[in-house]
Amino acid sequence: MCRWLAYSGSPVRLDELLYKPANSLVLQSKHARLGAETTNGDGFGVGWYGDVPTPGVFLSTEPAWNDRNLREIAAQLESGHVFAHIRASTGSAVQKTNCHPFRHGRRLWMHNGLVAGFPAVRRELTLAVDPLVFPEIQGSTDSEILFYLAVTFGLEADPVAAVASEARSRSLFHSVDVSTLRHQYPDNPALHVLSDDARLVVSEPLGELRGAWREVPESTCIVVHGGREELRPFTPVAPAAATADGVN
């Protein structure tokens, strides 16, 4: 399965997230430890938030370990909010439009896993997407369909409820409070460049620092905001059905 990370905190260069950790995301593209596959070489993507309203996205079908442009960009670009994803295809084509993260307005989305039996339900799920956002769908993955279904069913109003279909996601890990780690490891220079509100959510830990990572339980949503994290039950909820007169 794919590997990914989401970072929120003080601005950092992308190479601090993608290349420098002992078990960096780029290293995981070749030698993942916890994924279903060791190699995740079917493309990658990076999304970041900067000074303009719409987040930037860089996608490539190259393996992350072999993309010179990614290394160049990562050494220059700083951001306080970053999504990064390395892809292991579960059957869909290796093409840029199938690389994560996907973008809609201010929202970025990435996914690890697959929808079981997707070919049998693809038509029904696709037709449930709001016609106003349907033209934005560019690729052929179940992940992108899930994103636009979430947009259709209230992502802007309530992101947690809108993505409840992802309740049985793969195990995730989130970083421990930076101030706590700084106290435990005063000689670790990486911890001193991060703000106290910095947090990472990852599909597998980026290093072996004892006590730095906590596993997110299955069927749990983690919400990170302003240095606080909240774990919530993540239970599928069916969207309200339309009545005969078209009113929900």
Give the pLDDT confidence of 108-123 residue by residue, as tens digits: 999 988 888 999 999 9
Kindly give the parts of the chain with pLDDT less than 50: 164-169, 242-248
| Maximum separation of any 2 CA atoms in the chain, in Å | 66
Arithmetic mean of pLDDT over the chain = 87
Domain ranges of the chain: 3-233
Q: Each residue of 71-107: b (16+ CB within 10 Å) or e? A: bebbeebebbebbbbbbbbbebeebeebbbbbbbeeb
Give the pLDDT confidence of 135-161 residue by residue, as tens digits: 999 999 999 999 999 999 888 877 766
CA atoms within a 13 Å half-sphere pointing along the CA-CB vector of 172: 23
> Which CATH topology does 3-233 take?
Glutamine Phosphoribosylpyrophosphate, subunit 1, domain 1 (3.60.20)
Output the pTM of the full model: 0.88
Catalytic residue among 1, 2, 17, 82: 2
The pLDDT score that the predictor gives to residue 105 is: 95
Query: Which of 60, 160, 162, 144 lies closest to 104 in space, CA to CA?
Result: 144
The yes-or-no answer on residue 221 being catalytic is: no
